[in-house]
Chain A
Amino acid sequence: MSDIAIATASGIDARPPARALDYLLLLKPRVMSLVVFTGLVGMVMAPVAIHPVAAAAALLCIAVGAGASGALNMWFDADIDAVMDRTRDRPVPSGRVKAEDALATGIVLSGFSVAALGLFTNVLAAALLAATILFYAVVYTMLLKRATSQNIVIGGAAGAMPPVIGWAAVTGDVTLVPVVLFAIIFFWTPPHFWALALAKREEYARAGVPMLPVVAGIAPTIWQILAYTLILVPLGALPTVIGAAGLAYASVALGLGGLFVWRAVALMRVMDDSAARKREGLKLFAYSIVYLFALFATLLLERIVWSLSA
């Protein structure tokens, strides 16, 4: 029996006290950094500009909205998080933040971020942010995550929305360019998460989360990773095809994409070796993060160079 269980049984609240930092951890700051970055690129790619202070405020709203959905996810998934090594030290499963406090934090921050984005920019951006939070918290976390191996495929739509919201905050509409940015992140998400799930398969199985490697097995997952990667590589170069980026970006996108395919093929070679598969899975997971950051950073840099030389 754990200390907390013993103390609870004897009527004493033995939970370690929540620090301010625990409330910040509820917002999943690492996920927020990717959201802020891709949202910023969505804004910079727009053909018009807004006041820099308004742009910074809009980015803050998008970041807080993403953090709010992270808090709602931690509230609902505390039972799963407590079983997995990777997540058991999160504020709710570790007992440092009460589940109801995480829920309240998520609801309050969702309301504030959506209302503020609507007031600072426009109704479309606010509506997209609200839909994204609801999609992540309700459709992905509550309905899909424990029900289907396609959980992160469909749920990935929420993570792909920040550039669309960023674009909408600046322009007030949604056109082909933000849809292409959405598609890149959408098709990047399955190989990113399945690479992690390959390495953490036993943990997901113990937690009862039907990730693809748990439900379908190793080989089908690796084939799916390769299939999504082969779709992702040309998609990565699509901004150049539609005129939103230049040849420099396309070269970098194809080079980074080639490395992505190489890493996916490396996984196929170690399909039957458990230890090597975990190692290669983690390598692909780490590389996928570098890939997305580098791809969007190149878009951003090229746009800055274009505006300086115009």
Chain B
Amino acid sequence: MADPTNEEKARRQRNLLLAAALVGFAILFFVMTVVRLGGNVADRPL
């Protein structure tokens, strides 16, 4: 297999950055949801 060109390496780096940003954003929303819910989940009427 041929070595990746500079352009391919750069594109791969950008894709990884975008993926990391999206995963980070999803984790942030999850954590913030837990923080905002706090103890209210345990206290809710069943």
**Residues of A at under 8 Å CB distance from B?**
16-20, 23, 51, 53-54, 57, 60, 112, 116, 119-120
Contact = CB atoms under 8 A, between A and B. Distances in A.
**SS class of chain B's interface: helix, strand, loop or mixed?**
helix
A20 B14 contact: yes
Contacts of A120: 32
B20 to A, nearest CB: 9
Given A51-B35, A53-B35, A54-B35, A19 B28 contact: no
Interface of B: 6-7, 9-11, 13-14, 16-17, 25, 28-29, 31-32, 35-36
B28 A17 contact: no
Q: Which 6 pairs from chain A and chain B are nearest by CB?
A: A17-B10, A20-B17, A20-B13, A17-B7, A53-B35, A17-B6
A19 B35 contact: no
Nearest to B13: A20
B35 A18 contact: no
A119 to B, nearest CB: 7
13 contacts: A17-B6, A17-B9, A17-B10, A17-B11, A18-B10, A18-B14, A20-B17, A23-B14, A54-B32, A54-B36, A112-B25, A116-B25, A116-B28
